[in-house]
Amino acid sequence: MNLSLNRIKSQNQMTNIYIGSALLILSILDVFLNSFFGVNVSGSLPGNLSIFFPLILGFLGLSYLRTEYSGYKFLDSLNKNINTSNFNAFLTLFITFAILKAFPPALSWMVLDANISGDTKEACTGTGACWTYIKVWFKRFMYGMYPNELHWRINSAFLLVIGLGFVGYFFKENLKKYLALYYVVIYPIIAFLIIYYLISGGAFGLVWVETGAWGGLSLTFIVSFFCLIFCFPLGMILALGRRSNLPAIRYISVGYIEFWRGVPLITVLFMSSVMFPMFLPQDFFMDKLVRVIIAITLFEAAYCAEVIRGGLQALPRGQYDAAKSLGMGYWKMHIFVILPQALKLVIPGIANTFLALVKDTPLIFVVGLAEIAGMLALAKTNPKWLGFAMEGYIFAAIIFWIICYAMSKYSYNLEEKYKTER
Amino acid sequence: MNNKIKRILPQLLTILFVVFVFGFFTINAQVNMDNRGIDFGFGFLSQEASFDMQFTLLDYDGQDSYLWAYVVALLNTLLVSFLGIIFCTILGVIIGVARLSQNFLIKNSAAWYVEFFRNIPLLLQIFFWYYAALRALPLPENAQPWFGVTYMTIKGYYIPSMIWENLNVFMSCLIAAIVAIIFIRVYAKKIQEREGKQLPVLYISLALITILPLLSFLIGGVTLNFEMPVLKQLAQTSFIFEGGIALPPELIALVLALSLYTSTFVAECVRAGIQGISKGQKEAAASVGLTPNQILKLVIMPQALRIIIPPTTNQYLNLTKNSSLAAAIAYPDLVLVFAGTALMQTGKAIEIVGITMLTYLSISLAIAALMNWYNKRIEIKEK
């Protein structure tokens, strides 16, 4: 293939470069004009040839351009990166043209022909997206049916919880040994109290807002936050249990972990909403949100346990032996020697588990909690705003994408950081 | 003595705790069910289900039993998982290999593909395809044929169905061909070990698998006809396609979302597997005098697959479990039909949720057991 194309090339390298770049520019220009201005330069060609025309032209151009070394920096990097063989050249052109073709329609739908002004459906006159819909429903998507004038309570609760999370950074040296205690025991309790009293109210002169009104993105955060802080200690106990040399404890832990890892989250949620109330004492009422949080915690703890077990297994045996030879018992050994090292190893894994947890929370929609997917379903069926499903889902997708992408990049950074430290 | 207590006491306490929790739940459940007049039992499985499913693989109507509804719904779940696994593997391998390409554009497009689809919750992706993208498709009367004979419409994807005559003859020919190929492979390996001669196994296999089924058409009386979907007018403005197979939009949205989402994870597994093979392996194999094809087949692939297959199976398992999201867009899978409709009708919450969970659990455990067996088999045996 390569040989046959070499035959048409001229001996003079400069001629090859001129012909090649002319052909390549022509082919890109053809696609560009076609997609941005609707002008079809090669339209006069017969049949399907006009579709393949730029591809053939660009392909010839790239094969003319392909040389070992030309001396021009740009051309050499082009050849090295996107034009190493015929196959690569073809793929390069294909991707470039696909992007060029897809870009103008996407741009005009998202920006140029879109509407954002006004407050009613009638304001959307363009052929593009109707961002007015998002603008009007924005507060609902963020806070659910929570009363509008009380949104400050959710905001301040989140700010307080995040602020308290950073307190650990400012611990003085002599307080550092209590850091783990703070994050594992004290912080969850304080955070729970803050969210409970500030968001649901009922005390300190705050109006009671029932959990049915909670919703939107803030509910996603609440659920995933609580599930994370509760599932971590539980997962740690299970991981230790699974590596215990006492058979009864080991088998119970293995059974627990394998059971929860083997069932889909959606059935767990169904269990929490229809089966769990049957297991509770007669007059005991438990809020649906609490039940869902317990269910997700139990579910996620099994995954957490496996991640922590990975960290425990990664520690060299010498660490255990050394601790034992110093006369440490089981708990002393784990608290002072094993867990501090193992937990450091599993931080990226825990971050990934948390990422999965955030991505799983929209599922609570199926048991009737109006999380962001639920609010979208609600808004979509509102008779005043029919027909904007696309905008809604794209909006939610963008929000989730930003959150999850940032988190995955962060966990990747953590991984790199701890990899070098060991 | 002291040591013995140290071993036994924690175990005893744990067992007591578990027994206490289970006992507490059982007693409460008993009391609650007595109060509501429900009794525990699986007798309802043989009762008439009296609800309909809009998409089934086997014959089913409302007069069949709950047990049959369960089987049909389970098959629907397995169908989605099967299709999803096939597509996500194809896509995942392509993207995974593309991420290692030398071509700057291809490498980056693949990386962005992975970052894009991996970081959007699966449920939102399913909703997007079902409520937004597939709703933009044309009505049946405006549909243009794809590949000449299939129609993609807002009501689903219509493809021709195959009508076989003497299908079992064809099938037995196919099985015979596969058995023959296995025998030839074993024989070829023996010959190679004994005499060092290589038989053209690939060509013989290809010939066998095409010729034997072809013979069944010529001699065995097998015929194959296609039933094309045909547009039919029901009323002034209402058209549907008749004949052929109709794939409902729920199925398409589900398979699309599941395979796009899972393919990103498969791609990462494939990339890690190929990157995990050191360059020295390839060079060593080349220096022994193996051809590039042999290097790939005998040196690179066996090692790469050892890294790739375990995490990929895990992803298949995840896909199967994620297929339960079908319930959110009303595709009649196990969760929607059994844990949804059947539960509402019978009120047997504990039994039905229990059966549903056990079903998924046994699928997971079966695959996990298979995986462990496979891992043991391919393990590098160190001395």
Contact flag B15-A259 (C-beta cutoff 8 Å) = no
Contact (CB, 8 A) for B255 and B83: yes
Question: Global pTM?
Answer: 0.86
Pick the residue from chain B with its C-alpha nearest to A91.
B106
Contact flag A400-B120 (C-beta cutoff 8 Å) = yes
Contact flag A401-B119 (C-beta cutoff 8 Å) = yes
Write out chain A residues lying below 8 Å of B123, CB-based.
Answer: 362-363, 365, 373
Of B10, B327, B361, the CB nearest to A262: B361
Say how far apart CA A372 and CA A216 lie, in whole Å: 4
For residue A323, CA distances in Å to A123, A316, A329, B3 come to 71, 12, 8, 19
Classified as helix, coil or strand, B142 is: helix
Domain-embedded: residue B354: yes
Q: Where does the pLDDT of residue B261 fall: very low under 50, low under 70, confident under 90, or very high at 90 and above?
A: very high
Q: Which of A201, A222, A210 is nearest to A371 (CA)?
A: A222
Q: Does A282 touch chain B (CB under 8 A)?
A: yes
Domain-embedded: residue B138: yes
Say how far apart CA A49 and CA A60 lie, in whole Å: 15
Are residue B59 and residue B127 in the same domain, yes or no? yes
Q: What is the pLDDT of residue B95?
A: 92
Q: Which of B339, B266, B323 is nearest to B88 (CA)?
A: B266
Which of A80, A263, A291, A402 is the mutation pick for testing B, counting most B CBs within 10 A?
A263
Are residue B54 and residue B20 in the same domain, yes or no? no
Which of B14, B102, B137 is the mutation pick for testing A, counting most A CBs within 10 A?
B14
Are residue B35 and residue B7 in the same domain, yes or no? yes
Are residue B69 and residue B128 in the same domain, yes or no? yes
Mean pLDDT (whole number) for B305-329: 87
In chain A, what are the domains? Answer: 2-112 (no CATH), 132-146+209-421 (1.10.3720.10)
Which of B123, B316, B344, B359 is the mutation pick for testing A, counting most A CBs within 10 A?
B123
Pick the residue from chain A with its C-alpha nearest to B102.
A81
Q: Does B78 touch chain A (CB under 8 A)?
A: no
> Which contiguous run of DSSP H or E holds residue B159?
strand B156-159
Write out chain A residues lying below 8 Å of B127, CB-based.
Answer: 373, 376-377, 389, 393
Say how far apart CA B300 and CA B266 lie, in whole Å: 18
Q: Does B34 touch chain A (CB under 8 A)?
A: no
Pick the residue from chain A with its C-alpha nearest to B344.
A274
DSSP B283-298: HHHHHHT--HHHIIII
Pick the residue from chain A with its C-alpha nearest to B8.
A246
Q: Does B32 touch chain A (CB under 8 A)?
A: yes
Of B29, B135, B324, the CB nearest to A279: B29
Q: Structure tokens of B146?
A: 């794809």
Size of interface A-B (CB pairs under 8 A): 164
Write out chain B residues lying below 8 Å of A282, CB-based.
Answer: 28, 31-32, 35
* Residue A326, burial from CB neighbour count under 10 angstroms (0-12, 13-18, 19+): exposed
Of A246, A252, A373, the CB nearest to B7: A246
Which of B113, B117, B120 is the mutation pick for testing A, counting most A CBs within 10 A?
B120
Q: What is the pLDDT of residue B260?
A: 94
For residue B382, pLDDT beyond 70: no
Q: How far apart are the first and last CA of chain A?
A: 50
Domain-embedded: residue B273: yes
Contacts of B298 (CB under 8 A, 6+ apart): B285, B290
Q: Does A365 touch chain B (CB under 8 A)?
A: yes
Of B14, B116, B364, the CB nearest to A249: B14
Write out chain A residues lying below 8 Å of B322, CB-based.
Answer: 264
Report A:19-58 residues touching B (Cβ under 8 A).
none
Contact flag B18-A252 (C-beta cutoff 8 Å) = yes
Are residue B54 and residue B24 in the same domain, yes or no? no
Classified as helix, coil or strand, B145 is: strand
For residue B259, pLDDT beyond 90: yes
Shortest distance between the Cα of A179 and any Cα of chain B, in A, equals: 29
Q: What is the pLDDT of residue B262?
A: 93
Are residue B25 and residue B110 in the same domain, yes or no? no
> Looking at the 3D structure of chain B, how many domains does it have?
2
Write out chain B residues lying below 8 Å of A360, CB-based.
Answer: 121
Domain-embedded: residue B204: no
**Cα–Cα–Cα angle for A93, A94, A99, nearest 5°?**
95
Of A366, A394, A396, the CB nearest to B328: A366
Domain-embedded: residue B177: no
Report B:102-161 residues touching A (Cβ under 8 A).
102-106, 109, 115-116, 118-125, 127-128, 131-133, 135-136
Considering chain B, what percentage of its residues have pLDDT values greater than 90?
14
> Which contiguous run of DSSP H or E holds residue B239?
strand B239-242
Shortest distance between the Cα of B219 and any Cα of chain A, in A, equals: 42
Q: How many CB atoms lie within 10 A of CB B324?
A: 26
Contact (CB, 8 A) for A292 and A369: yes
B15: domain range?
Answer: 2-40
Domain-embedded: residue B229: no
Are residue B253 and residue B334 in the same domain, yes or no? yes
Domain-embedded: residue B182: no
| Radius of gyration of the CA atoms of chain A, in A | 30
Max distance between CA atoms of chain B, in angstroms, equals 90
Of A266, A274, A401, the CB nearest to B335: A266
pLDDT in tens, B52-110: 777 777 777 777 788 888 888 899 999 999 999 999 999 999 998 888 887 888 889 89
Write out chain B residues lying below 8 Å of A264, CB-based.
Answer: 321-322, 324, 335, 360
Q: Structure tokens of A101?
A: 């073709």
Are residue B264 and residue B370 in the same domain, yes or no? yes
Q: What is the pLDDT of residue B287?
A: 93
Q: How many CB atoms lie within 10 A of CB B4?
A: 8
Domain-embedded: residue B219: no
Contact flag A275-B18 (C-beta cutoff 8 Å) = no
DSSP A93-138: HHHHHHHHHHHHHHHIIIIIT-B--SSSGGG--SSS-BHHHHHHHH
Q: What is the pLDDT of residue A47?
A: 62
Classified as helix, coil or strand, B223 is: strand
Report A:234-253 residues touching B (Cβ under 8 A).
246-249, 252
Contact flag A275-B349 (C-beta cutoff 8 Å) = yes
Are residue B255 and residue B371 in the same domain, yes or no? yes
Contact flag B360-A264 (C-beta cutoff 8 Å) = yes
Q: What is the pLDDT of residue A301?
A: 92
Adjacent-strand bridge partners of B150? B146
Say how far apart CA A406 and CA A387 lie, in whole Å: 31
* Domain CATH code at residue B92: 1.10.3720.10
Max distance between CA atoms of chain A, in angstroms, equals 93
Contact flag A282-B103 (C-beta cutoff 8 Å) = no
Q: Does B365 touch chain A (CB under 8 A)?
A: yes
Q: Does B321 touch chain A (CB under 8 A)?
A: yes
Are residue B20 and residue B142 in the same domain, yes or no? no
Are residue B141 and residue B60 in the same domain, yes or no? yes
Q: What is the pLDDT of residue A1?
A: 43
**Cα–Cα–Cα angle for A380, A384, A388, nearest 5°?**
40
Are residue B339 and residue B264 in the same domain, yes or no? yes
Write out chain B residues lying below 8 Å of A281, CB-based.
Answer: 28, 31
Of B103, B335, B357, the CB nearest to A88: B103
For residue B222, pLDDT beyond 90: no
Of B12, B109, B339, the CB nearest to A95: B109
Report A:71-100 residues touching B (Cβ under 8 A).
81-82, 84, 88, 91-92, 95-96
Contacts of B79 (CB under 8 A, 6+ apart): B57, B251
Write out chain B residues lying below 8 Å of A271, CB-based.
Answer: 353, 357
Per-residue pLDDT of chain A in tens (422 residues, 90 and over written 9)? 444 556 666 667 777 788 888 888 888 887 777 777 776 666 666 666 667 777 888 888 887 777 777 777 777 777 777 777 777 888 888 888 888 888 888 888 877 777 777 777 777 777 777 777 777 778 888 887 777 777 777 787 888 888 887 777 777 777 766 777 777 778 888 888 888 777 777 677 677 777 777 878 888 888 888 888 888 889 999 999 988 888 888 899 999 998 998 899 988 888 888 888 888 877 777 788 888 999 999 999 999 999 998 888 888 888 888 988 998 888 888 888 888 888 878 888 888 888 888 888 888 888 888 888 888 888 878 777 777 778 888 888 999 999 999 988 888 887 787 765 54
Contact flag B121-A82 (C-beta cutoff 8 Å) = no
Q: Hey, what's the torsion of the CAs at A242, A244, A250, A253, to 10 degrees?
A: -40
